[in-house]
Amino acid sequence: MYIEVEDVSIKYRQKGKEFQALDHVSLSVEKGEFVCLLGSSGCGKTTLLHAVAGFAKTTEGQVTIGGKRVEGSDMRHVMIFQNYGLLPWRTVQKNVELGLESKKMPKQQRGEIAERYLDMVGLANFKNHHPHQLSGGMQQRVAIARALAVKPEILFMDEPFGALDAITRMKLQDDVRRLSTEEKKTILFVAHDIEEAVILADRVVVMTPNPGRIKSIVNIRLGHMRDRTSDEFIMARDKIFEIFHMKTERAVEYYI
Amino acid sequence: MLRSLKRTVLSFAAFILIWQAAVAFGDFNPALFPKPQKVLEAFQELISTGLQGSSSGISLFAHIQASLARFFAGYVLAVVFGVVLGLLLGWFPRVFAYVNPVIQLLRPIAPVAWLPFIVLWIGIGDVPAVAIIFIAGFFPVLLSTAGAVSSVDPVFLKVAENFNLSQFRTVAGIVFLAAFPQIANSLHLALSTFWIFLVSGEMVGAQSGLGFLVMDAKNCIRADALLAAMITIGGLGVLLDFLIGRLEKWVSNTWGFGIVKYEKERGR
């Protein structure tokens, strides 16, 4: 397995009280797989993502990627944040070049790569804008271009579309789904809602809070092209609703 | 724009009118409370020959030049040291925790209270006035920079870490720039107090400058020249404030806070 989360627990001390964010969580992710983490707030989904990304330290257990223990953040595994994390004083293009600067790449080459990825997310005409001049959806596209520009193996996404309106969110979901098949990135994604998880994931990891644990893992076998209105989609979604005990059983009456 | 110009003109006209009326109808010693016209004449005198009977005998512009030179020297020193040290202390909070008690002790000492100490050490001249600005500005700039650093959005730090930025690039290229709007705001606030402290510094420790001119005019019992010097101090304070306001606007525009846009929408 590519990403191995082995019996990880994470405890925080908050105002003298100990808080168990994750309780003996184990998870394996294959290369190229799209995995969504889903659960109510406090279930530790973000903590788990940040532990795999190297932003949070594990209290017990360990995380390995490609057999190597995760000890810090690395450019091969890029995180996409809900509030985009774009640098407001840089232009769109300079934002995309941020990671390339660390690679000590010549200026011209940086510019070419940045333009290529901005073109890919459909923002080639906005390269000289500042982030605040763009809509939320466009800003998140810039963040995605910035992440892809450094050719990462894994994308971590922390409710990346949580702050966007419903239509923009669906559009970006489709884009990310396409990206995962075309670019063959491994993606670990904290989902905002059940629909999002079902439209995106190969597997959905359902978590429960207090303490944060994995309740069950659901395989979504819908293929690459997914349709929000298809019966398969609705059935897969219902399955997850059932896990959350949110589906009311009732006899269906028919009027003809 | 036109409306605010109208307001300004009317405001000054009323001010001068009341002044004139107070002189005309009040029973004041004209040497102590001169009418506006006398002050205007004093301006002419200060600009052309300098204060008559003064020990220094330099013109108003030379005084302004001396004051501004000290002002910028003190300002630049305070800003450079305050911002650099503030960044470092903000970035290393554990070091800051050790340094902070001493800062808190030194901070409430009025800059003017340092002056005798500085004059004892260095004597009068340019240094005391520059030093007083430095002291007045250094601590507020240091503390607000350190505060701004600690309130930088953690997502920027994560991005810097994620893209393998070195510690130096993180502090200089991310933290400083992310904190810059807040730092610039503190520089603006500091500026007006700097100007006040400069004048008080020059009143004691200098042989030129507007603060000195105020004392000089007092010693020559020239209330008209005294008022002219005071008006000059006020006018330059307004000008400096305006200039840094423009800088701040540029910053907020570039950083994307849209303050200017908002003002435009409200209309003037």
Ordered DSSP codes for A185-199: -EEEEE-SSHHHHHH
> Does B1 share its domain with B45?
no
Sort out which chain A residues have CB atoms less than 8 A from B174's CB and list them.
Answer: 87
> B interface toward A at CB cutoff 8 Å?
153, 155-156, 158-159, 161-166, 169, 174, 177-178, 180, 254-258
Chain B hits for A88, CB-CB cut-off 8 Å, are 255-256
Please give the residue of chain B at the shortest CA–CA distance from A152.
B163
Kind plus residue range of the DSSP H or E element containing A37? strand A34-38
Shortest CA distance from B158: residue in chain A: A55
Asked if residue B29 and residue B129 are part of one domain, the reply reads no
- Structural domain containing residue B22: 1-33
Q: Chain A contacts of B162, Cβ < 8 Å? A: 53, 73-75, 77-79, 99
Task: Give the list of residues 6+ apart from residue B211 with CB closer than 8 angstroms, or none.
Answer: B67, B129, B198, B199, B200, B201, B202, B203
Contacts of A150 in chain B (CB under 8 A): 163
Contact by Cβ (8 Å): B151, B185: no
Number of Cβ within a 10 Å radius of residue A246: 10
Over 70: is that where the pLDDT of B256 sits?
no
Beta bridge partners of A80: A157
Q: Strand runs (DSSP E) across B119-263, as ranges?
A: none
* Tokens linked to B142: 């240091």
Residues of B in contact with A72 (CB under 8 A): 161
Pick A148 or B251 by higher pLDDT. Answer: A148
Chain B interface includes A53 (CB < 8 A): yes
Which amino acid type is present at position A10? Answer: I
Structure tokens at B222: 């020239």
Least confident of A30-44, A150-164, B110-124, B152-166: B110-124
| pLDDT for B98 | 94
Low-confidence ranges of chain A (pLDDT < 70): 246-256
* Whether residue B192 sits in one domain with residue B71: yes
> How many Å apart are CA A74 and CA A88, to the nearest integer?
23
Facing A130 at nearest CB: one of B153, B165, B256: B256
Same domain (yes/no): B9, B121: no
Task: Note the pLDDT of residue B267.
Answer: 37
- Which residue among A99, A132, A133 sits closest to B163, beta carbon to beta carbon? A99
Q: How do residues B46-96 score in pLDDT, each as one tens digit?
A: 888 888 777 777 888 888 998 999 988 988 999 999 999 999 999 999 999
Please name the residue that has the structure tokens 């609705």. A234
Show the tokens assigned to B15. Answer: 């001010």
Instruction: Please report the domains of chain A, with CATH numbers, ordered by start residue.
Output: 1-69+153-160+170-256 (3.40.50.300), 77-151 (no CATH)
- pLDDT for A254 equals 67
pLDDT, position A248? 64
Task: Give the residue among B136, B64, B65, B133 at the shortest CA–CA distance from B106.
Answer: B136
Give yes or no: residues B108 and B163 share one domain: yes
Residues B12 and B74 in one domain: no
Residue A207 bridge partners (DSSP) = A214
Residues B23 and B132 in one domain: no
Per-residue confidence band for B175, with pLDDT thresholds at 50, 70 and 90: very high
CA distance A18 to A208: 18
Angle between the N-to-C axes of helices B60-91 and B36-48, in degrees from 0 to 180, rounded to the nearest 10: 90
In chain B, how many domains are there?
2
Alpha-carbon span A90 to A80, nearest angstrom? 18
Say if residue B28 is in the same domain as residue B122.
no
What is the DSSP annotation of A46-82? Answer: HHHHHHHHTSS--SEEEEEETTEE--S--TTEEEE-T
One domain, residues B9 and B40: no
Tens of pLDDT, residue by residue over B188-234, are: 777 777 888 888 888 877 788 888 888 888 888 888 888 999 999 99
A172–chain B nearest CA distance, Å: 21
Nearest Cα neighbor of B199 from B83, B74, B90 is B74
User: What pLDDT sits at residue A252?
Assistant: 62
Contact A89 B180 (CB under 8 A): yes
Stretch (H or E) spanning A3: strand A3-14
Cross-chain Cβ contact A73/B258 below 8 Å: no
Residues from chain B that touch A73, judged by Cβ atoms under 8 A, are 158, 161-162, 164
Chain B: give the shortest CA distance to residue A99, in Å: 5
Among A106, A179, A105, which Cα is nearest to A147's?
A179
CATH code of residue B64:
1.10.3720.10
Question: Closest Cα to residue B161, out of A156, A110, A28, A208?
Answer: A156
Q: Are residues B2 and B40 in the same domain?
A: no
Same domain, B198 and B251: yes
Q: What is the pLDDT of residue B264?
A: 37
- Same domain, yes or no, for B99 and B20? no
- Strand runs labelled E in A173-252: 186-190, 203-208, 213-219
Residue A247: the pLDDT is 65
